[in-house]
Structure 1
Amino acid sequence: MTMPSRSAFARPRLLIIGCGDVGMRLLPLLAGRFRVFALTSQPERCSELRAAGAVPVVADLDQPATLARLRNLAPWVLHLAPPQPDGDTDRRTRHLVAALGAVRRIVYVSTSGVYGDCGGALVKEYRPVAPKNGRARRRVDAERILRAWALVTGAMLSILRVPGIYAADRLPLRRLEQGTPALRFEDDVYTNHIHADDLARIVLQALTRGRSGRVYHAVDDTRMKMADYFDAVADAFGMPRSPRLPRAELAQLVSPVLLSYMSESRQLDNTRLRRELRVRLQYPDVATALARLRR
């Protein structure tokens, strides 16, 4: 087994909580800057994480007794883990802050769903949250818990509110294949987007440049309604467009979860992201990304 170099041990330690798709895209960007630890509840992922340059830490946010190893493990933390799928509070984040100990810097990846339905309005980061479903209420709870914890401990906290994440392998192709209907234009909602690779870079910028207690919208420049997004993907891949239906008719055909996504309309402003974090997006909008895929 190859031992880490002495320079690796000299690097600042960083802990990633929730090293899924975005975390794996982030790991190459952290190489040479940090000695990275990655929390996983799946022992079978350890070899994958090691190969990507992280030191795996096997523990489970749903099992507080397993989190003892996290105390004072790393002064830099990226919290990318979603809440558990039930309830109105984020028990996982509560378990995490109880276990962490001393932390200098933490970035939390939240969701734009915390705003609820905004009627298609342009939304800035200071808009009051108004979550309409359990998913969003759990995220609001996590943000509040982290703010209170950071205030007590002195940790610097930045929050990224993230919309729909897409990438070449994260497109609604199956939905298009199945012919799932979309809303007609007059009933449709504005959605927001960010490419997974850009999100990974935004997380790194927030870690190094984010202001303490600050919220940032991790969103691109796209101004598009949901059905138009599906049409753009369908056209890019030569697939039939989704049929469009009135809301009352569509509500009888789709799942409650899908209908909830089709019931919230907002346009996220990303001025703060560009001015304060100085982010330059590789994929500034969905059209640019799809054009590259076509090429």
Structure 2
Amino acid sequence: MPSIQKPQRVRRVPRALPSRFKRQRVLIIGCGDVGQRTARLWRPMERRISMELPGGAQSISADVPDLIAEKGAQPHHRLPLVRALTSSPEKCAALRAQGILPLQGNLDDAASLRRLAGLAQRVVHLAPPAAIASTEGETVASVLDQRTRHLLRALVRRANSAPALVYGSTSGVYGDWQGAWVDEARPLRATTARALRRVDAESQLRGWALRFQDSGARVHVLRIPGIYAGDREGGTPVARLLRGTPALRAEDDVFTSHIHADDLARAVALALWRGKPQRATNVADDSALRMGDYFDLAADLWQLPRPPRISRAEAAQQLSPVLLSFMSESRRVANRRMKTELGLKLRYPTVQQGLAAAFQLSKDLPKK
């Protein structure tokens, strides 16, 4: 006989989406100029970016998702959800307008960072260490990065997993190499408090990654030289040239390296997925210029007087200690690892090309 019982309903349990359909969450700490340029690479409405070629008015388009989705770089087809930590409530509206979800918090206030744990699978840490002023000169505390210490403690609090993290350090950690090429295997010879704070941050990050590696923690450090761009505040030497600040004469001059802000943003984005764990990568262009030649190049482009050249002894009498500290270290930053491991193809391989593009941009901007 047929059963008179009603058929039992089978409750369907929702199936988890495959990992390739899950949207990654990225948290940017220190979302200033470079952080915002990086976030723009993931904006759906800006999938195609037009930029002026350094040599003229011809323009090209670059498919931004294809940049991040290069083989091995971005395993998920969906663009990530981007959040940014900010200590300034007035910046929240501007961040939202760029498609970035702002979170209020302050790296100097550890209690304000408690909700960061488990918030993102990937973190971009671009916040500089806080400088500690002292009337008696530099102290031990002034070469420690307390901001990074607060952040790392917050990222693993009440969370079962730790994120992958990219840290924006400085090539200043290498110190002075008297003009030699410096790759990532060179010992760190930092002497200034500014650079020693970065050395401390790198050390903290390595220790954190090793401690929590079983929970997924990994750190990739980017060592960054001078950043420039025509649409970046203070991103060209024009203001310095207008002030007439002198440069060192050729026999006393130092080698310095640079990276265009757009190329740096692309390096940050690629390092989030391609960067090898517990490893450092120099991010620099192919130029090998002395500092004075860089200023001369900009002066010629903007048709301004070249800076006067003075001896090192004269510089010690005329220039500030901070400016002198940049003139006391000479090195050329090698970028082979950036090209071979991150796979970054520079849009501005040389300062000459980048400054030419900046000059063209300044001509195209409306006059105030």
TM-score, normalization by structure 1: 0.95
- Shift in Å at residue 71 of structure 1? 1.3
Output the CA distance in 2 between the equivalents of 1:84 and 1:30. 29
- Shift in Å at residue 137 of structure 1? 0.4
- Residue 43 of structure 1 corresponds to 89
- Shift in Å at residue 73 of structure 1? 0.8
Does 2:100 correspond to 1:54? yes
Output the CA distance in 2 between the equivalents of 1:104 and 1:67. 15
Written as runs of structure 1 = structure 2, the 5 A alignment for 1:45-84 is 45-84=91-130
- Residue 98 of structure 1 corresponds to 153
- Residue 221 of structure 2 corresponds to 159
- Shift in Å at residue 222 of structure 1? 0.6
Written as runs of structure 1 = structure 2, the 5 A alignment for 1:129-278 is 129-154=188-213, 155-168=217-230, 169=232, 170-278=235-343
Output the CA distance in 1 between the equivalents of 2:94 and 2:37. 13
Output the CA distance in 2 between the equivalents of 1:40 and 1:176. 33
CA deviations over 1:52-104 (Å, ceiling 9, x no partner): 11110000000111111111111210001000012010000000001011323
CA deviations over 1:13-32 (Å, ceiling 9, x no partner): 11100000001111111235
Structure 2 residue runs of 5 or longer lacking an equivalent are 1-20, 44-77, 133-141, 361-368
SS, match of residue 30 in structure 1? coil
Written as runs of structure 1 = structure 2, the 5 A alignment for 1:23-42 is 23-31=35-43, 33-42=79-88
- Residue 12 of structure 2 corresponds to none
Output the CA distance in 2 between the equivalents of 1:244 and 1:89. 36
- Residue 4 of structure 1 corresponds to none
- Shift in Å at residue 290 of structure 1? 2.2
Output the CA distance in 1 between the equivalents of 2:246 and 2:147. 35
Output the CA distance in 1 between the equivalents of 2:34 and 2:359. 23
- Shift in Å at residue 214 of structure 1? 1.2
Counterpart residue type for residue 29 of structure 1: L
- Shift in Å at residue 10 of structure 1? 4.5
Aligned pairs, number: 287
**Equivalent pair of 2:229/2:358 in contact (CA under 8 Å):** no
CA deviations over 1:177-224 (Å, ceiling 9, x no partner): 110000000100000000001000000111111111111001000100
Counterpart residue type for residue 270 of structure 2: Q
Output the CA distance in 2 between the equivalents of 1:181 and 1:107. 36
SS, match of residue 123 in structure 2? strand
Structure 1 residue runs of 5 or longer lacking an equivalent are 1-8
**What's the Cα RMSD here?**
1.2
Match of 2:29 among 17, 20, 24: 17
Output the CA distance in 2 between the equivalents of 1:40 and 1:104. 19
Output the CA distance in 1 between the equivalents of 2:279 and 2:358. 34
Output the CA distance in 1 between the equivalents of 2:255 and 2:358. 23
Counterpart residue type for residue 90 of structure 1: D
Greater Rg over alpha carbons, structure = 2
SS, match of residue 221 in structure 2? strand
Output the CA distance in 2 between the equivalents of 1:205 and 1:21. 17
SS, match of residue 41 in structure 2? helix
Question: What percentage of residue pairs aligned between the two structures are identical?
Answer: 54
Counterpart residue type for residue 164 of structure 1: G
**Equivalent pair of 2:222/2:283 in contact (CA under 8 Å):** yes
Q: 1:41 to 1:123 in 2, by over 3 A?
A: same
Output the CA distance in 1 between the equivalents of 2:131 and 2:238. 25
**Equivalent pair of 2:220/2:280 in contact (CA under 8 Å):** yes
- Residue 181 of structure 2 corresponds to 122
CA deviations over 1:155-196 (Å, ceiling 9, x no partner): 111100000000013111111011000000010000000000
- Shift in Å at residue 251 of structure 1? 1.1
